[in-house]
Structure formats: C-alpha cells, structure tokens
Chains A and B, each alone.
Chain A
C-alpha cells in the first residue's frame, strides 16, 4: 500500500516535471536578442531620455514602435563605454547602417488589430499597464518563440497557475470589460 503510494507520487512528479519543465522547452524555441539593451541606463538621469524620445507617435497618429538604428547613431557614432554589446552595436549595425533585428515580445498575430493611439493618446494608459516593467529593465530576457505558431510566448499568456505574463486575448478583454467597453470580434481582429 505504501509502495503503491510511493509509485503514484513518483509518477505524478515525473508527469508534472515533464508537463511543466520539459514540454515548454520542446514547444518554445529560445532565441537571444541580437544585442543587450538596457532601458534603465538610457532612461537614467545620466542619459536622460524619455520614453517618447525613442517610442514616438508619427504625425499621422501611428506608433513608430522600436526606434531605427539612426536613433542609436545620434549618440553611439563611436563607442562610449567598453561594453561588448556597444561594440557590436557600432560595428555590426551603426557603421554599415543595418537595422537591428529586435524580437518583439508583445508582437500580436497577423489577424489582430491593435493601436497604441487609442490606448496611450486617448485613454492615457501607462506603458507598464500592458508591458510590465520592460521600460525600466536592465537587460533583455531571451525571446521564446512557439515552434508551431511562430508567435511569441508573451502573447500566449497565462500558465496553469493563473500567472499571466502577457497580452493574450483574455487580458485585452478583461481590461476592456473593466472599463465598460463592449467589443465585437472585429474591433480587435481584422
């Protein structure tokens, strides 16, 4: 009887281990960002940039997203520190004028319609409400790409414990519902 319990517990643990640790490793490919970038350094008092110095709205109201490498070149025409990432930035991207192939954690599927205009300009939401602490992060975590769908793990959202790290459809709808918006499918889809 005790032995049975032991086997059961061992089996359960093994199954949970595979489900929780093994399977996600199989499903998600881990990809490093092309170089390390610290939001904390650039928004510190020393450098003194504001979010919208790099993440601005264009005059037509569209969101410019991640700045192009010409923005970095304004200050990094030549290395300012001894950092290896900065060396990479200057040599591989700024000098040849190549764009940096950043991976966007929050990138939505093609069929999703999202606009920063309504959320940031009109509803005056803070960046952290959706992106968490990314704007004050020190380094970039690895990007996890779903091998089947190609989507970022961040938009896949909730894990089994109810912990949410991203912008899954339920996250969008939860906030909209809390603010009394009734949505049709085609409000967020296209």
Chain B
C-alpha cells in the first residue's frame, strides 16, 4: 500500500549564512508555531527553550577586519547513528523512516537528559518549569502541536504539525504524495532574507538538493559522521572553521542567543 508517508523522503534544510542577518524572526516563528511558552523569569541562556537558536560568532579581529556571523541552529536531524536515539532508554526518540525526521515524544520522555548530553549540537532543550501562558495567550496556541510539561525534553521536528496538515490537504485533494513547497516549516516561511531553503533531499531536482551539492555547502561537525540534514552555505572561510570547532559550540552560555 502506498500512502503519503510510505513514499521515502529525506527532508532537509540549507541555511545561507551569508544571507542571515540575525534578526531572529525564525526563532519567534518557531516558538509561536510550536507552542513554546514565554521564558520563565529565572531562565538563562542555558535553561530557556529555543527549538531554533541563532548563535553569533565573531572572528575576534580588530576593525576593519572584524566580522560576525549569525548561525541559526535547529535540530540537525542526524541521519546516521543518530546520537539522541541510541542513548534514549525510553524509545522516546525515533527517526521516521519515511521522512528522515528525528521525532521526540515528550510524553514518553522520563527526563534523564542523556540525549541532551549526547547531542553534539546542543539542539535539545529541557523543560525546567511548567509552561505559564500570560492571560489570553492560551487562546493563541496552535492546536496541531501538543504542549509539554515540566521535566521532559523537546526539540525541533521540522514543524511536524505542518506535515500532518499538508498531508491532509493533499489527501483532501485526492493526492497521495506531497508537492514540493506544500510542506514548509515556520522558520523557512518567516525568514525575511530568504536564507533558509527546505525540501526533500532525495529529490535530485529540488532546490534544497541542488544547494546542498554546492561547494560552499557544509554541515556542522561533519567529522562526527552523523550525517546531519541541515546544510549551511557560506563563501567565508573563517565561518567554516567555526563550524568545525566543537568547543565554541559546546557552551551555550558563552554565545549570544
């Protein structure tokens, strides 16, 4: 039986760092889409929740050679030996064979945070507090995404609620496959610089697959062999070096969110 999910896709993203100006619209759109609550008043850079976080790096040189770059980091959707999947004692994380999306099931999660330690990209976040919605804001929650409780881990899943919705629209129109562009995560849509391109990497003709093959494309910590599905583009060589440096990335509190 062929159904929308049974067709093998491998969703991925290409983020053009030379276009990103660090405005943070993607972070906002992500939080709104996925019912991420406003930060608790005691939350810090390390304990707040941002499925997508824009980091700023600086080359440390003096004017006029000083350069900064903004790097949006969502879950990198590792395609091989996915670290968070292999350490989870609960089977609360899986890789969808039909889409390649790494799914986190907060309801199944026991909060041990082993996955957070295992994630080379620090793309996973722990709910240190129960969500508190300012009065009236519950009414604006997205019904396609369930809210999470204190004590569980969550992360980017390429706006899975939007995938459900896109599949329903396709099925209502009598199609059993998605057309390119029918399913797009919120951050991609929100980026005013059009720095993020999303699509099926398995589809050779898609823009995302074409960009990912470009010589300026690279993936973060590629040497680990986890085959992330987020590609970055840059023509600046110092930026590429940043991406290979584990230590820089490792401390959330040392970078600016």
Contacts and interface: CB of A to CB of B under 8 A. Distances in A.
Interface of A: 60-62, 110-111, 113, 115, 117-118, 121-123, 179-187, 189-190
Nearest to B6: A181
B245 to A, nearest CB: 32
Given A181-B5, A181-B6, A111 B107 contact: yes
Contact of B107 (A60, A187, A189): A189
Nearest to A110: B146
**Residues of A contacting B: mostly:** loop
Contact of A115 (B6, B94, B101, B168): B168
Contacts of A182: 6, 97-98
B105 interface: yes
Given A117-B168, A190-B160, A184 B6 contact: no
B94 A185 contact: yes
Interface residues of B, number: 30
B146 A111 contact: yes
A172 to B, nearest CB: 14
A62 B168 contact: yes
B97 A190 contact: no
Given A122-B3, A181-B6, A186 B103 contact: yes
B10 to A, nearest CB: 13
A179 B5 CA distance: 13
Contacts of B101: 184, 186
B61 interface: no
B176 to A, nearest CB: 7
B1 A118 contact: no
Q: Which of A111, A180, A183 lies at the interface centre, i.e. has the most chain B CB atoms within 10 A of its CB? A: A111
